[in-house]
Chain A
Amino acid sequence: MDFLDHIKQGPDGPNKMPESFFMQFPEKMMERVRWEEELKTVAPLLVTISRKPVFMLPEGYFNSFSVKRNTDKAKIVGMPGWRKLVSYAAAAAVAGILVTGAFLFTDNKPASSFDLATYNKIDVSAELNKLPEEALQQYLATNTVGGAGHELNTEIDVPEASGNVESLSDDELMNYLNEAGEKPETK
């Protein structure tokens, strides 16, 4: 019998009273008498009513009651080896179909030989500094698109377009269109 069996059965076995029982008995009896006397003076009818539980209780509830703690995890059942292989093969097949499908349906062309990782390591400013001045000037002279000479001229005066066109006469408008090289629309 171990320590906890000793607690379960009482100090001297299953049929023995706990040592404290007889010591506490008189006090418990007095408490019971006081309880009844009090109730008799306040609400005597209640002394006569049975205090046994009246509610329905599922059969064997207390015998089967257990606490569902978070630590009570579900038991993990291992799969046989061949079933694991089948699972892996199925997963690989699905992955293959998805990758192939993605490649075909997204119109992916093979990437150019451009290697982004290598490119990211190049310091462009440092590389330009290494070039001789003549080479840079020659490059700029022959590659002008978007380069030197195509800067946006911010100093050009934009004509004021907020005038009331309706206030101009037809002759004035015709003159303007003739000067601007536009052919006036004839109705």
Chain B
Amino acid sequence: MHLADQELLLAFKIPDSKERAYTLLVKKYQEKLYWHIRRLVVEHEDANDVMQNVFIKVWGALDNFREDSQLYTWLYRIATNESLSYLEQQKRKSAVDFDEVSEGLSNKVKADAYFDERKLEWKLQLAIQQLPEKQRIVFNMRYFDEMSYADISKILDTSEGALKASYHHAAKKIEEYVKAH
């Protein structure tokens, strides 16, 4: 664990400095968590809603945080679970299957104000939306956040071998998609 994280956790346990420690924790991790969530839910409003849920959960659960795990993997775990719950709620509301979910996310990507279908970065984003949910999460964590398999394993409760296979499979599919479009 980073020293600063340890100090934040210590400060959070002291009533006088609890609120300030929490504010610093939010400031420190908000950007990383936001982009992790945004890549999963795509739209800003949705990402903002999930961010709120994540940090509310963090406030309530930080007292019980076990310091034998890393703070940032714990935060990513909450963010991932909240994002998936959010997507699940949306799926239930609209009663759609995987293809329709994938299409819905692609449409959200295309609806972005900066979207430019000629740019590789946007083709990459469209390709990611074609992946099954688990592969999408693994690919995002490994590709964008450069997270180690060991850390992803802690977040997703999946073996490192399975994660590696999942990432390789996803990366190949994305490359094929980008080349084809």
Contacts and interface: CB of A to CB of B under 8 A. Distances in A.
Contacts of A61: 34, 44
Centre residue among A18, A20, A52, A67 by max chain B CB count within 10 A: A67
Nearest to A66: B26
Contact of A67 (B52, B112, B144, B148): B52
Nearest to A39: B171
A42 B112 contact: no
B98 interface: no
Contacts of A35: 142, 146
A31 interface: yes
A43 B174 CA distance: 8
Interface string B107-140: 0000011100001111011000000000000000
A46 B56 contact: no
B55 interface: yes
Contacts of A45: 175, 178-179
Given A8-B24, A56-B113, A67 B124 contact: no
B44 A7 contact: no
A4 B20 contact: yes
B17 A42 contact: no
B68 interface: no
A25 interface: no
Contact of A7 (B11, B26, B144): B11
Interface in B28-78: 30-31, 34-35, 38, 42, 44, 51-52, 55-56, 59
Contacts of A70: 56
A152 interface: no
B174 A46 contact: yes
Interface in A22-61: 31-32, 35, 39, 42-46, 48-58, 61
Contacts of B59: 67, 69
Contact of B146 (A3, A4, A31, A66): A31
B166 to A, nearest CB: 12
B122 A46 contact: no
B2 interface: yes
Nearest to A48: B120
Interface string A59-84: 00110011111100000000000000
A170 interface: no
Contacts of A155: none
Given A49-B121, A68-B52, A43 B44 contact: no
Centre residue among A8, A50, A55, A62 by max chain B CB count within 10 A: A55
A127 interface: no
Contacts of A49: 120-121, 124, 178
A51 B143 contact: yes
A43 B175 contact: yes
23 contacts: A4-B20, A4-B21, A7-B8, A7-B11, A8-B24, A19-B3, A20-B2, A20-B3, A35-B142, A35-B146, A39-B171, A42-B171, A46-B124, A46-B143, A46-B174, A48-B120, A54-B112, A54-B121, A55-B44, A58-B44, A61-B34, A65-B51, A67-B52
